[in-house]
Structure 1
């Protein structure tokens, strides 16, 4: 019976989560018959399963709740908030008993008479007595008391007899016709609790013949699979590194095949770990409903993007931050009904939650239409609590003041309540999100509302990274946080400046604060810094000086040793293809360092801005490249997916065409000018452009710079593939027509689809 109880508990909890969501939806739209039918079906099935397993206490509560729902369904009872609250109280009591059942292996003792009487009173159309347990505290679990004895119903057998019958029963004969299925009831052994597959967790039981088949797999099994795949990725990287050093192409084809299979296996395993973010949102409708009643504020919750998927490990980490964010919006953000009417707003406050993919990460945005952040009040509270001094607070910008709400112990609540006021909410949000490599940004307009934007990685296991060198050592930097890579030299257009003892980089007439990574690590710089990584973490944009950018690589994130965990600059470690261990730089740790820049320097930056907002809106980021000895070429940076340095030995010639194994699939490599040749040795620079169905690589001789300029074409195109000639930083520059090359790549893709390439696939 232990296995039956375990399966029942899992399925029951999944179904109760669905009931919570659907009940809140049904209360808001009583005419939604489909929602009511789903709730009734789940409660009815739960009651049948409890009767089948001999769980009398659970069965009695479920039966009383089902009766009340039946009155709603038959139209004999009007839906009221009090009645729905009674059903939700019954669901809460069932959850409490299920927790006890899981801990003790049997139903805990308790008296549910008052709760059942309240449900029956609502079913009869009468108001419940004052002893209604709707708002009562749940009873404690009795861990040391024996299971209650009760008289068996006619036709019911004891648990011991039922278990003996199961053990003695023969297996099913599949050739025989299946007996008709009866309606699940207390005496029907066919009653098993199966929530609707569309609303249950992805790890569902094996389904029937209709619809896709699924199987429940333990989380430990998935974690072990991910660990093995991570080790396989490391081994692949090592083999590729060894093969590059040998200069022998004998092993190139099998290694490319191994790389392709490893990539596909990695994608497949990642899919088993992915879950819709809606799994973390299931409790929010019930939470908002309860907060609405407790705070006396009508609140409407709108959720979009529930199907957006991310790693299960990340999903677990964001449940608490999301809960804190919603509670904070409801309590601090939204005004009361009278204040909203006075401000000309709808009486019901709005909390809008959305999620979507962006650049290899998940963006979660929480927006409310409340009062917004009161900068003056936050500043005074921060001074009062000793978070900042008055002199420092007076020089802080509005955005810097707003970020003080993430400080430990900060709260603007006048009274400590069950909802807020203890100063731990937004601090927990920030710390939990940064622990998984995420970023949080805050925007607020007084009187109009607040927007909190959270950007988190899709997965924590395997990430793309830049391998850089600083202080003579190699480090890995997550590529998702790097906006641009700027090369600096004596003849570069970019120049360094110093304002209020803060080193700056002037990039496209904007001043960006700089961090020297060697100095930050407390090490001496071995060589002159040649590159600046332009990074953005939340609202912070800053540059990181490094000596060299070595390569891009998919890395497997390993946890740090305990002695290194207190260093905020590092988030983990990884093993490179040559077997060496390198530390992973934490962008959030560097952002905190950049955020300590004196406020007067930030003020000087604002005053030194050369471009007006209108002028800046006309600027386009252009990637400048060199091809042959002709004029420089430019392409809009927003159209480029990635900049790659591909070993020239990996570029395959297929007749008069060229392709490269890119992420496990063949990608066509095109040239810009007639007669253009690839580099003879070393790495070939490629501009990777991703279309809707395919990708292509555009070969160039050198990546020169990234600049901001107005796209004013002064000379018409002289040949296909060129849009025209413009003056960029005082130099005549040809603007490439990427659409022309994408059409050529589409033709290559069509050839590959008909079997014209070695592997039968072109990158998609």
Structure 2
């Protein structure tokens, strides 16, 4: 796949997402004119991008969508559920077709039929819209009457009169008034005068537009308004009635070529006329032939499109003449509703889509600055080598080498973090995609749901962000289907009729936590016990012996579901199991908290990125382990007499607070029951919101290391947060204190004031 296609797919997906958000905002506020404009601009841009390629059904669909939104902007049709639903379906089709092109470089076989059905629905919407009144001939404005009187070729057919007064600054806005007029086919009369008296020569402003343009055309009003849709506030359009006795006879000579297609063809004529005999003319010729053929195919004029393709071999002049003949003579093929659907392109474009990354320029600039500093630091080493060769004192040379090493170490650490940051992507890219699924699911379930999103600016590695949507979607669907009650049940329970779902993200040490919370019925452990027995997941004796937290955790078991029947959203027992599997694949874990009647909270604890981290290396028995410094509060030595047995464990008092003490060798399962030392080495860490002291056998060193998520056999080991390599080549297991201490009895699970 070439670079142009890759960029097209990236921009298409961004436009689909932004248009979806604006349509949902428009649904909440149908009178928001700016939202209508934003949606219209998104569809207009999409259509222009698709028009560059051989995708006629796609182009025709987006053209129809643009017509519908243009009518909504003009007030011809109302912005209601029908228009919004149809526009969302068009965006769905656009997203699916973009995926298909990325995978196969072709539109799906059913794209033409699907596009045709959606186009018909747009036409139906426009047909049902409020009709514009046809002006009586005697009631025409003076400027329109003058045009009618001056047109000897009108012959009594119905026509359209237009008055266009461009703004003074239209040139600075990129408008070309006469260029727009040239895009109107079947012109019967044109008048261009000054809108105001011209200024004296010495005061003349060549960049101020002072035109009053009126024209009469046999083109239908809808097509005229489509041409002037971006300057609608500067245009007046009037329907001119015709003579019914001559209208039928004259209608046969009125070109029916679509206005947009005619404009595209006219542009190709101008490009071909500008041929200069240079080596670029061959590319210009092929591009014009393709653009003209695509435009004609989109309107169903297959024969004319083939004419353009055949004429390509005869050169620039022949192609220009063919396009001009099509413009003058009109199409030779049936209209889009009568023609067969155009065929899809037969030649594959080749190649797989490359993985791309869009990076903020400021990050690249910072990276270049760091590289410059690193080059300077490297040059300092050459200076040190020269000093050593000159026989400088070893003591001063050693100090200089250590300073250079420290400086290079600082720069390499900063450089690594900057490079890693290039892959950081805000979670907003995932969170923004949930408004639509929540809307559709809530409508299907007959529930009123409010979605709140927080922490969109939280960043994580691109690979994590791209794989986060599916597991989160399972959680959100469960919250919608099982968690939130219907309006009547909520009202009886004293809750607002509208249920709330909150998706929230935040940073937690060197990782991130993504939370999905609802204010629904919560999870009843007693119900889970019964359902686990019914599904054969556990015996009755086993579930009765389990703690409530362990019972609630059964919702992640394969095959488990709380649904009574299989529905469109859930009930098959694969959703939450898939969530846990996805979290583990990403190097994280998932946890759940629930209170009956108040709601449920599912948390995904995930690594933020593969980053250079500061690691404390500690000993446990004969092995060494790492703990991220972000989780370490302090390292202390404590007399063993200061550690006391409390409840089911040990505790000590640190800085006036009682802190649980847990031996690391016990957590790892290979501890020696005997304790020979008189002094305990405590590594105080923060885990799951609590302060806990890990007793270790020795403190070794602090290192900077790249910590990679665990995989393979290591990934199945509980409490391992990642791995890294030591300087001697050994693999160091980096522990996750929160995962290791989960379920370990501590002092009331909360620190309390010591005496």
Is the TM value for this pair above 0.5? yes
Q: Take 1:517 and 1:408, find their aligned partners in 2: how far apart are those partners?
A: 33
Q: CA deviation at 1:557?
A: 2.1
The TM-score with structure 1 as length reference comes to: 0.59
Q: CA deviation at 1:335?
A: 0.9
Decide which of 115, 119, 126 is 2:122's aligned counterpart: 119
Q: CA deviation at 1:410?
A: 2.3
Q: Take 2:718 and 2:59, find their aligned partners in 1: how far apart are those partners?
A: 53
Structure 1 residues 72-97: Cα deviation after superposition (integer angstroms, max 9, x where no partner): 32233333223312111111122222
Asked if 1:494 is matched to 2:648, the reply is no
Q: Take 1:399 and 1:436, find their aligned partners in 2: how far apart are those partners?
A: 24
**CA separation of 1:169/1:117 partners in 2, compared to 1, >3 Å: closer, same or farther?**
same
Q: CA deviation at 1:583?
A: 2.5
Structure 1 residues 538-570: Cα deviation after superposition (integer angstroms, max 9, x where no partner): 589876543122233332124668565544454
Q: Take 1:320 and 1:489, find their aligned partners in 2: how far apart are those partners?
A: 51
Q: CA deviation at 1:32?
A: 3.1
Paired positions, count:
525
**CA separation of 1:586/1:362 partners in 2, compared to 1, >3 Å: closer, same or farther?**
closer
Number of the residue aligned with 1:471: 621
Asked if 1:350 is matched to 2:461, the reply is no
**CA separation of 1:102/1:125 partners in 2, compared to 1, >3 Å: closer, same or farther?**
same
Structure number, greater radius of gyration: 2
Number of the residue aligned with 1:14: 14
Q: CA deviation at 1:515?
A: 5.6
Q: Which moved more, 1:362-371 or 1:581-590?
A: 581-590
Q: Take 1:544 and 1:157, find their aligned partners in 2: how far apart are those partners?
A: 78
Give the SS at the match of 1:259. helix
Number of the residue aligned with 1:55: 55
Give the SS at the match of 2:592. strand
Q: Aligned runs of 1:311-350 on 2, under 5 Å?
A: 311-350=461-500
Structure 1 residues 674-720: Cα deviation after superposition (integer angstroms, max 9, x where no partner): xxxxxxxxxxxxxxxxxxxxxxxxxxxxxxxxxx44xxxxxxxxxxx
Q: Take 1:558 and 1:452, find their aligned partners in 2: how far apart are those partners?
A: 25
**CA separation of 1:61/1:479 partners in 2, compared to 1, >3 Å: closer, same or farther?**
same
Asked if 1:383 is matched to 2:386, the reply is no
Give the SS at the match of 1:282. helix
Number of the residue aligned with 2:426: 276
**CA separation of 1:550/1:32 partners in 2, compared to 1, >3 Å: closer, same or farther?**
farther
Q: Aligned runs of 1:633-648 on 2, under 5 Å?
A: none
Give the SS at the match of 1:124. helix
Asked if 1:38 is matched to 2:38, the reply is yes
Q: Take 1:567 and 1:366, find their aligned partners in 2: how far apart are those partners?
A: 26
Number of the residue aligned with 2:71: 71
Asked if 1:169 is matched to 2:172, the reply is no
| Contact kept in structure 1, 2:610 and 2:709, CA below 8 Å | no
Q: Take 1:316 and 1:540, find their aligned partners in 2: how far apart are those partners?
A: 32
Asked if 1:290 is matched to 2:401, the reply is no
Q: CA deviation at 1:467?
A: 0.8
Q: Take 1:534 and 1:394, find their aligned partners in 2: how far apart are those partners?
A: 36
Give the SS at the match of 2:128. coil
Number of the residue aligned with 2:576: 426
Q: Which moved more, 1:250-259 or 1:438-447?
A: 438-447
Q: Take 1:114 and 1:322, find their aligned partners in 2: how far apart are those partners?
A: 33
Q: CA deviation at 1:413?
A: 1.0
Structure with more helix by fraction: 2
Q: Take 2:430 and 2:123, find their aligned partners in 1: how far apart are those partners?
A: 33
Number of the residue aligned with 2:26: 26
Q: Take 2:58 and 2:723, find their aligned partners in 1: how far apart are those partners?
A: 49
Q: CA deviation at 1:276?
A: 1.2
Q: Take 2:552 and 2:495, find their aligned partners in 1: how far apart are those partners?
A: 24
Q: Which moved more, 1:52-61 or 1:457-466?
A: 457-466
**CA separation of 1:559/1:259 partners in 2, compared to 1, >3 Å: closer, same or farther?**
same
**CA separation of 1:92/1:438 partners in 2, compared to 1, >3 Å: closer, same or farther?**
same
The TM-score with structure 2 as length reference comes to: 0.60
Give the SS at the match of 1:283. helix
Q: Take 2:362 and 2:396, find their aligned partners in 1: how far apart are those partners?
A: 46
Give the SS at the match of 2:640. coil
**CA separation of 1:518/1:432 partners in 2, compared to 1, >3 Å: closer, same or farther?**
same
Q: Aligned runs of 1:543-558 on 2, under 5 Å?
A: 544-558=694-708
**CA separation of 1:464/1:420 partners in 2, compared to 1, >3 Å: closer, same or farther?**
farther
Asked if 1:517 is matched to 2:520, the reply is no
Q: Take 1:579 and 1:347, find their aligned partners in 2: how far apart are those partners?
A: 61
Give the SS at the match of 1:17. helix
Number of the residue aligned with 2:161: none
Q: Take 2:733 and 2:67, find their aligned partners in 1: how far apart are those partners?
A: 61
**CA separation of 1:78/1:13 partners in 2, compared to 1, >3 Å: closer, same or farther?**
same
RMSD (Å), alpha carbons: 4.6
Q: CA deviation at 1:47?
A: 0.8
Give the SS at the match of 1:517. helix
Q: Take 1:252 and 1:516, find their aligned partners in 2: how far apart are those partners?
A: 35
| Contact kept in structure 2, 1:47 and 1:186, CA below 8 Å | no
